[in-house]
Structure 1
Amino acid sequence: MANQRGYPHPVFGKVKLGNLGFAVAFWPLLGWTKTVSSQEGTLAGLAGKFGLGEGLVVQELGFDIDSDEMVSNAIASVAELVDETYDDVVDAVLLWWREDDGDLVDALVDALGPLTDNGVIWLMTPKPGRDGHVEPEDIADASPTAGLQATSNINAAPDWQGTRLVAPKSRR
């Protein structure tokens, strides 16, 4: 039992503590703080892949049980993440899309509605081999029809990839 014998502490010398006191006193030495800071670093790093930062408003559309919550949490850690009921302008849209979700062109046009002139749409689709995978040709066909062009792709999560879509400069 922890309170029956002393423990060597690098700063306080030998200390006698209860189980809770032991955990608090040795917290940094046990590496528990690294877990928290590593997770924060992971979230910030993932949000950095999207090029999103503080002060931005990001509208999330199409989130469902199969969507990757870590991606949403990462964006929420650096920007204001709002849902489909938000009725003001947004700087970016995070659109989760699966093969059977309907007409991609309609969804992209709807996502453009609240978007600022320089805003971006991140189209999140399941990776190849996953349920609901959207073929790259479908994205390539739907984007210009909706008035958008794809600029880059990212590996966003184990099951999801992201395609960055923007309005061509001539339309801004």
Structure 2
Amino acid sequence: MNFSNLLSELGLKPDALVQEIGVDDDVDDDLRDALEDQLDEPLIDEDEQEVVDAVLLWFRAGDDDLTDALVDALTTLDDGGVVWLLTPRSGRDGYVPPVEIQDAAPNAGLHVTSSAGVSPHWAATRLVPRKS
């Protein structure tokens, strides 16, 4: 897959700080490598407490509760930041139906805004904090 427009697809700037949560051996390493190359920064580990511009949340059916995972993703997110929820595409192990995302997002204080085709195996859903 061509990742040349990855930053614009994700709405990120080259110096953005991006935290990654939920990494396992099934994630798209090509996507991760391309993102690090274009950011010119390593992705920040989920254990770090640094304030970030975006969070990549890898989530599969069978992981813990989606609402809880989304709330946790907000812990280090800067004002104006975005959460990209990455879930396995339809037909793959761990597929998360869009209705589950639509249900969980408002409970976590988030609003689903769009999706992006960033990976052949993973769907990306853009979530932003709701305005108070």
TM-score relative to the length of structure 2: 0.93
Q: Which runs of 4+ in 1 moved over 2 A?
A: none
Match of 1:138 in 2: 100
Unaligned runs of 5+ in 1: 1-38
Matched, 1:63 2:9: no
Measured after TM superposition, the shift of residue 78 of structure 1 is 2.4
| Cα offset, 1:75, TM superposition | 1.5
2:127 to 149, 165, 170: 165
**Higher mean C-alpha displacement, 66-75 vs 116-125:** 66-75
Q: In structure 2, how many angstroms separate the alpha carbons of the residues matched to 1:72 and 1:133? A: 20
Q: Which has the higher contact order (CA 8 A, sep 6+)?
A: 2
Residue of structure 2 equivalent to 1:151: 113
Aligned-residue identity in percent: 48
Q: Which amino acid aligns with 1:153?
A: S
Secondary structure, in 3 states, of the residue corresponding to 1:99? coil
Contact 1:122 1:165 in 2 (8 A): yes
- Select which of 105, 113, 120 maps to 2:82: 120
More helix as a share of residues: 1
Instruction: In structure 2, list runs of 5 or more residues that go unmatched.
Output: none
Partner of 1:87: 49
- Per the alignment, residue 33 of structure 1 pairs with none
| RMSD over equivalenced CA pairs, Å | 1.4
Shift of 1:44: 3.2
What number of residue pairs does the alignment pair up?
130
CA contact (8 A) 1:44 1:77 kept: no
